[in-house]
Chains A and B, each alone.
Chain A
Amino acid sequence: MAAPDPVHPQLLHTVLDARDIRPLAEFYREFLGLVYRPGDEPPASGPDNADWLVLTQPDGRRALAFQLDEKHVAPTWPQPGVPQQLHLDLTVPDRAALGAARDRALELGARVLFDRTEDADEPLYVFADPAGHPFCVFVG
């Protein structure tokens, strides 16, 4: 008897932990041109006590989520201590866009961990987002 077809779950989104998820969500929303899932926007009035936020692509496809962790400790990568465990890779189409992405990332609160834009094969930056999670932007 043939085995039933295995279930293949779908990648839904990647979730980043932080103590203060609104600024982190705002960073990625602005940097990647994402939108809040309906209902996850900052409240018009009153306290913003969200403990879970989802950002989608403009067409509604899931992109990233943010999970409140009041004890979150930022990764110390590449130094030993607190490992990054997972990170995001982002792409831009060319070197000019890479420079523009750097400027915008810094303006939004990221910091540069590595500048490898002189690498002929794969120019890239490694940034830390406002919560300290490393991510890469490269031409691809």
Chain B
Amino acid sequence: MVTRDIVFNSCNDACNTITTDRRVEGAPVYRCTGCDSEWIELDERTTPGVPDPEPAAPVPAEAPTAAPPAPEPATAAVAEAPADSVAPVQLPPGAVVPQLMQTVLDARDIRQLAEFYRAFLDLRYRPGHAPPFHGADDAEWLVLTHPDGTSALAFRADDQHVAPTWPKKGVPPQVHIDLSVPDLPSLNAACQRAVSLGARILADRATHSDDSLVILADPAGHPFCIVVA
């Protein structure tokens, strides 16, 4: 049993007056009912070993009650799972299923962003994509691979790129990457390392017992999660 202590911050956007528990679906973020902006609730903590009280604060009738879904606890033992109730995909004879190759991130400065992920995830440049020894680094497309050579991430130069403003309104993230570490000490170490490499923490839920995760923004502003899985 755990106690979840929520300290409501005032809205740090515009109105600076409203407290709310209207959690935004899919994120450890609360929506201000005053100005309808979103902000990150950083003061939510769980205290182990204390019985859960009945819900203390009155909850608005329209408030969603579900916990944020993302990311989820690790899935154990796929092989032991019940049979998939969904019919397997029926493909025409000889059909080829496309393979996921890589996820591509847009940025104005793709070298900076590639260097971040290269160092953070221990990836390698595709041959020919390393920074040039001489002359200008005018790469418009960079690929990072796993040590075995398989593609992991790619970076596409976009001179007009505007960083996501999530969780605030404006520019949505659209797509994000989840990373996993095996345990809580690894999560803390990974976060420290990410910050030292230029990321910033958007939400720290590392101590949550049910879904331990930290949300960060990479140097180009793309949110990503590190989960214990």
Contacts and interface: CB of A to CB of B under 8 A. Distances in A.
In this complex, the member of A15, A33, A42, A137 whose beta carbon has the largest number of chain B beta carbons within 10 angstroms is A15
25 contacts: A7-B190, A7-B193, A14-B103, A14-B176, A14-B178, A15-B178, A29-B89, A38-B78, A41-B86, A51-B26, A52-B26, A52-B72, A64-B100, A75-B174, A84-B175, A85-B173, A86-B105, A86-B177, A89-B100, A89-B103, A89-B104, A89-B154, A91-B98, A92-B99, A93-B96
B171 A83 contact: yes
B81 interface: yes
B102 A89 contact: yes
A77 to B, nearest CB: 9
Interface string A39-58: 10110100000011010100
Contact of A41 (B85, B122, B181): B85
B172 interface: yes
Interface in A41-99: 41-42, 44, 51-52, 54, 56, 60, 63-65, 67-70, 72-73, 75, 80, 82-93, 97
A92 B98 contact: yes
B162 A83 contact: yes
A12 B174 contact: no
Contacts of A89: 100-104, 151, 154
Contacts, number: 194
Contacts of A10: 121, 179-181
Contacts of A2: none
B122 A91 contact: no
A114 interface: no
Name the residue in B105, B179, B186 with the highest tally of chain A Cβ atoms < 10 Å from its Cβ.
B179
A68 B160 CA distance: 27
B97 interface: yes
Interface string B45-84: 0000000000000000000001001111001001101101
Interface string B180-211: 11000010011001000000000000000000
A73 B172 contact: yes
B226 interface: yes
Interface in A4-49: 4, 6-17, 29-39, 41-42, 44
A73 B134 CA distance: 43
B192 to A, nearest CB: 9
A137 B152 CA distance: 16
A85 B155 CA distance: 10
B149 to A, nearest CB: 13
Most chain A C-beta atoms within 10 Å of own C-beta, residue among B66, B89, B181? B89
